[in-house]
A and B are shown apart, each in its own frame.
Chain A
Amino acid sequence: MTDAAPTPAPDTARIRPPRNQWWDVWDQFKIHRGALLGSIVFLAIIAFCFIGPLIWPYDATYIDIRARNQGMSWAHPFGTDQLGRDIMARMMSGGQVSLAVGIVAMGLAMLIGTGIGVLAGYFRRIDGLLMRMTDLFLALPLLPLLLVMSMLFRQPLSSAFGVETGMFLLIVTAIGITSWMPTARVVRGDVLALKEREYVLAARSIGTPPRRLILRHVVPNVLSPVMVSATLMIATAIITESALSFLGLGFPPDFPTWGRLVNDGIDYLQQYPGRAMLPGVFISLTVLSVNYIGDGLRDALDPRIRGR
């Protein structure tokens, strides 16, 4: 070999062994200011919703009719509603449901969307079938579908899992299976381009079976668009859930969710504007922080951006 070859210098004999790539991801993530701020806000919201009820003395469904329509005070920092229920407690338990619906529905939609997109893009034989199915789902209107679904499945689900869990499953499934299509299309397009890349060919020449080839080479490289739609999906899911509950297709009326609280507050918007705005602010904060986290994650997962 020519002298151009960098000869391994003896003094650098102590070479760091390859470390887990997730450390690199974390190193980049923690210097992304927006993402860090976003995660702090998001964690604070989660702590408020899930740890708060353990500390807060009031129950979300406890009615104290003499203390109704109170403003902010030390006893009730967010005030009370028209039945005298503590709004802070209702925000906490409403947040649990809304966050859970948002995250689980997003996860489901991303899973279906990415799965179908990757399969359709990678295997030409099932491409037509899967994409026509996507078109079919795009043509389905959400509300009538949900009406049918709740007619058919509300009873069996409620008796099997209880009213709230049953409804939760129903809503999450409904939102999940009606919102994966844009992701599937974007992912399919990306996979079609990716599978012609030479590194995919190289992996095939090594003898990598399609399953591992997809997981190792294709999926990591379509992560960016998936991440973007995932962060947007959480917001959409929370809002869709509130719309459904408002129409009486979702959770029962006395069961608080953030969307439900907004809808309840709208009736009193003139007298007590804070009552509708507070859950709205929480929804917006959640969405914003998740967007920033998604942004930071996307940058951190891309080695080409990492380290800048």
Chain B
Amino acid sequence: MSVQTPPKRPLVEVRDLKMHFPILGGLLRRQVGAVKAVDGVSFEILPGETLGVVGESGCGKSTVGRAVLRLYEATAGSVIIDGEDIAAMPAEKLRQKRPTMQMVFQDPQASLNPRMTVAGIIGEPLDEHTDWSRARKLERIYELMDAVGLNRDFANRYPHAFSGGQRQRIGIARALALNPKFIVCDEPIAALDVSIQAQVVNLLEQLQDDFGLTYLFISHDLSMVRHIADRVAVMYLGKIVELAPVAELYANPLHPYTEALLSAVPEPDPSIEARKDRIVLKGDVPSPANPPKGCNFCTRCPKVMEICHRIDPETIEAAPGHLVACHLISNKQTAGSTGGPEAERKQTENQQGEVA
């Protein structure tokens, strides 16, 4: 894994990012609360690496992606991309910085202007950031269309004339137009059918090799993330609960939520699938406007302890490069005991008895 290679300077460094959307209420439209969509997220991405972000719907994955590119004004925290803090940058400087970082959107239907031709859509970044001649822009557009596997003859067509996979290629070509270093892929495959998903993911990987791109790959498809990512961050209710290299995470999940997520991945072998004991989480994700006290996951955790309802767990490094925020792990580490699991299980059973 790229994490083990001698320390490189991270391309993207996100520190304690918070994105709270105000809830206005009352006659005077005062702020009466906040939806804490992202609440203190930190991670870094090395150049050429892919960081996968997984989590269930509404956990703040897409908001992280958008806040990192400052499509939302973050409430707090810093986003350092290529040595410069995006979150605190003045507008004009940000505009000039935009070519370094681009985004591929979830819904290829909605992310292309229906009234622009493919050439217009792919060429828009060039219109904004270069003063090239028309012929040179066209040359670049054709080059990009070749890179993403689109026929050059499609340049005059409109988005409605394309299939979902082709539209996503157009979106990817647009993101590549300015030679970015960092691309946020916001569920780029969620709206595509399975055979096309593979094509698009392979395309993304190939482009990463060709152009040395760095991805923040947001998805809820765990198998796809396992395939494309180098490291994976698991998000729950606006926080990263576990962040580890992909092999480590899938082989040795530490956080109960990660375990539950991984147990939900279908197994290709039916005999294994039948014997697998799935962890089914009860209830719904709590509202991010009113998160539970203590650990965010304490309302649904199968291994909940008394301490979880009181104190929000710190993120600790359980193994090299394996970060996790859970009392189970921090207890184990602070106690230094190895025979803990039995005692712990007993304790959790008691806890669950109390909760239920």
Contacts and interface: CB of A to CB of B under 8 A. Distances in A.
- Say whether chain B's binding surface is mostly helix, strand, loop, or mixed: helix
B33 to A, nearest CB: 19
Interface string B106-117: 110011111111
B22 interface: no
A202 B114 contact: no
A206 B66 CA distance: 13
Interface in B159-203: 160, 171, 174, 178, 198-199, 202-203
A303 B158 contact: yes
B156 interface: yes
A17 B138 contact: yes
Interface stretch (B76-84, B123-131, B213-221, B316-324): B123-131
Contact of B71 (A15, A205, A216, A217): A205
B105 A202 contact: yes
Contacts of A217: 113
A4 B199 contact: yes
Interface stretch (B38-46, B144-152, B251-259, B304-312): B144-152
Given A198-B105, A199-B111, A205-B98, A6 B128 contact: no
B21 to A, nearest CB: 14
A198 B71 contact: no
Contacts, number: 108
A199 B124 CA distance: 11
Contacts of B66: 201
B333 interface: no
A164 to B, nearest CB: 41
Given A17-B138, A304-B160, A206 B113 contact: no
A208 interface: yes
B149 A1 contact: yes
Contact of A8 (B112, B151, B199): B151
A270 interface: no
Given A205-B71, A206-B128, A303-B160, A220 B138 contact: no
Contacts of B71: 201, 204-205
A5 B149 contact: yes
Contact of B124 (A19, A206, A209, A301): A206
A302 B71 CA distance: 29
A21 B122 CA distance: 16
Nearest to B101: A205
Contacts of A221: 113-115
A220 B107 contact: no
Interface string A1-34: 1101111110010011111010000000000000
Given A6-B149, A205-B103, A18 B119 contact: yes
A19 B114 CA distance: 17
B152 A15 contact: yes
Of B101, B102, B111, B174, the most chain A CB neighbours within 10 A belong to B111
A203 interface: yes
Given A201-B105, A221-B114, A6 B206 contact: no
B88 interface: no
B258 to A, nearest CB: 30
A207 interface: yes
Interface in A215-249: 216-217, 220-221
A16 B118 CA distance: 13
Nearest to B111: A198
A18 B105 CA distance: 25
Contacts of B284: none
Contact of B146 (A8, A12, A209): A8
B111 A21 contact: no
Contacts of A306: 158
B131 to A, nearest CB: 15
A18 B156 contact: yes
A154 to B, nearest CB: 44
Contacts of A197: 110
Given A18-B156, A198-B105, A198-B107, A207 B129 contact: yes
A28 to B, nearest CB: 12
Contact of B110 (A1, A6, A15, A198): A198
Contact of A205 (B69, B110, B155, B158): B69
A304 B203 CA distance: 28
B115 A198 contact: no
B153 interface: yes
Contacts of B112: 199, 202
A262 to B, nearest CB: 41
B94 interface: yes
A6 B120 CA distance: 21
Contacts of B199: 1-2, 4-5
Given A2-B199, A207-B95, A198 B106 contact: yes
Interface in B62-106: 66, 69, 71, 94-96, 98-99, 101-103, 105-106
A6 B71 CA distance: 34
18 contacts: A1-B149, A4-B149, A4-B199, A8-B151, A9-B151, A12-B152, A16-B156, A18-B156, A19-B156, A198-B106, A201-B66, A201-B111, A202-B103, A202-B112, A204-B71, A205-B101, A206-B125, A304-B158
Given A1-B199, A201-B103, A205-B101, 13 more contacts: A4-B199, A5-B199, A6-B149, A7-B149, A8-B152, A12-B153, A15-B142, A202-B103, A205-B102, A206-B124, A207-B98, A216-B124, A302-B115
Interface of B: 66, 69, 71, 94-96, 98-99, 101-103, 105-107, 110-117, 119-120, 124-125, 128-129, 138, 142, 146, 149-153, 155-156, 158, 160, 171, 174, 178, 198-199, 202-203, 206
Q: Which A-B residue pairs are the 5 nearest by beta carbons?
A: A5-B149, A207-B98, A303-B158, A198-B111, A207-B95
